[in-house]
């Protein structure tokens, strides 16, 4: 076989795919692909601090801020609690006036930063049952509703870091909520992409994706009548999963109690499959909802993005912003389904 023919085959082995919403490109580098089970060989950094030194095992005793929300079991023990972050990235202050310095713009970092902590030090969300996960979703909604109408709050970010590599500085399972005065650039990109697609096609781009993936099945991880989890066509990393409602809905905070349970089923199945498939990998997940800035966003569709840390950005990614995945999302989804 000639070197020229081999080179052509290697080029054909990789594929550029474009995200339907943001327009971003990713490379599915099947020419250097791994088998799905190889990703489980990754050994994430372990936090050697014992439960006796955990700041969240007994938040009151370790001097955390006063609870703003707490759920109890019938025996009186708590199952979930929310309190302000002692070291907030955003903190309460005066009005978020703009500050100028020459050609630069800035404003005070005003906002709210809270921690959502579940009771068991050793049981992450991937290990919880559906109703336990539904309780966490209920807490997310409760705190979202509390902050969304406050002055200078235009966006509420809800996210979860699992593992040191994903940014978790404390091993006890916890999520974070930040209510901030600006709309995140990536959210703005999704908002613009969704509006552009609707103007051109008269349909919600997220609804189109959800319906297509549900019909085709090859990238679906799990679904029920209300929600679907699938590996995106243009996955940024191996085993990325998106969870979204099948029925059009721009606003996460409007989720009903019945929908919380349906969401919890799909979400917990997805996290559990990732946990089993990748041997408890570090990951992040975050909720993307329409901003709470008083404007209407009828073309948006809220969703959750789960991003396991299966690769590290290097020169090409940093230079171009184009991410490389070494596993086809179709293969990843099939492997995740087997874990169910």
pLDDT given for residue 1 in this prediction: 44
Model-level pTM? 0.93
To the question of domain 51-180 being in CATH 3.30.428.10, the answer is: yes
* The token pair that represents 321 in the structure block: 């912003």
CB-based burial label for 25 (10 Å; 0-12, 13-18, 19+): middle
Positions of E strands within the chain = 14-18, 25-29, 69-72, 78-84, 99-101, 104-106, 112-118, 155-162, 174-180, 220-223, 227-230, 241-245, 283-288, 303-308, 323-325
CATH, range 13-45+184-338: 3.30.428.10
Residue 14 CB partners (closer than 8 Å, separation 6+) = 27, 28, 29, 30, 31
- Over its length of 340 residues, how does the chain's per-residue pLDDT go in tens digits? 444 444 344 444 689 999 999 999 999 987 766 789 888 876 666 766 679 889 999 999 999 999 999 999 999 999 999 999 999 999 886 665 677 789 998 888 899 999 999 999 999 999 999 999 999 999 999 999 999 999 889 999 999 999 999 999 999 999 999 999 999 999 999 999 999 999 999 999 999 999 999 999 999 999 999 999 999 999 999 999 999 999 999 999 999 999 999 999 999 999 999 999 999 999 999 999 999 999 999 999 999 999 999 988 889 988 998 999 999 999 999 999 999 9
DSSP 57: T
Delimit the CATH 3.30.428.10 region(s) of the chain: 13-45+184-338, 51-180
Which residue, chain included where needed, has tokens 């940014």?
Answer: 167
Q: b/e for 293-317, b at 16 or more Cβ within 10 A?
A: eeeebebbbbbbbbbbbbbeeeeeb
CA 246 to chain CA mean position, Å: 18
């Amino acid at each position: 076989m000639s070197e020229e023919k081999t080179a052509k085959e290697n080029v054909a082995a990789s594929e550029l795919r474009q995200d339907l919403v943001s327009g971003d490109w990713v490379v599915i580098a099947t020419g250097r692909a791994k088998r799905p089970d190889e990703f489980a060989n990754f050994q994430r950094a372990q936090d050697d601090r014992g439960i006796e030194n955990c700041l969240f095992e007994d938040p009151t005793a370790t001097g955390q801020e006063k609870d703003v929300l707490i759920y109890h079991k019938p025996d009186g023990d708590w199952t979930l609690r929310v309190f302000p972050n002692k070291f907030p990235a955003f903190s309460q202050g005066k009005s978020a006036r703009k500050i100028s310095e020459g050609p630069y713009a800035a404003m005070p970092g005003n906002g709210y930063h809270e921690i959502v902590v579940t009771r068991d030090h050793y049981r992450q969300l991937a290990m919880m049952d559906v109703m336990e996960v539904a309780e966490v979703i209920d807490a997310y909604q409760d705190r979202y509703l509390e902050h969304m109408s406050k002055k200078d709050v235009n966006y509420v970010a809800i996210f979860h870091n699992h593992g040191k590599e994903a940014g978790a500085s404390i091993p006890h399972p916890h999520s974070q909520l930040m209510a901030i005065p600006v709309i995140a650039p990536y959210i703005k990109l999704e908002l613009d992409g969704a509006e552009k697609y609707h103007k051109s096609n008269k349909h919600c781009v997220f609804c189109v994706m959800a319906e297509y993936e549900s019909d085709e099945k090859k990238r679906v991880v799990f679904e029920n009548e209300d929600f679907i989890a699938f590996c995106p066509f243009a996955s940024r990393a191996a085993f990325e999963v998106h969870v979204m409602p099948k029925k059009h809905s721009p606003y996460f905070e409007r989720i009903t109690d019945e929908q919380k349970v349906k969401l919890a089923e799909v979400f917990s199945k997805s996290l559990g499959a990732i946990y089993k498939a990748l041997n408890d990998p570090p990951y992040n997940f975050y909720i993307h909802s329409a901003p709470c800035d008083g404007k209407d966003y009828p073309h948006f569709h809220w969703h959750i993005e789960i991003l396991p840390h299966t690769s590290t950005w290097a020169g090409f990614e940093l230079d171009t912003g184009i991410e490389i995945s070494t596993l086809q999302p179709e293969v990843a989804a099939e492997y995740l389904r087997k874990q169910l």
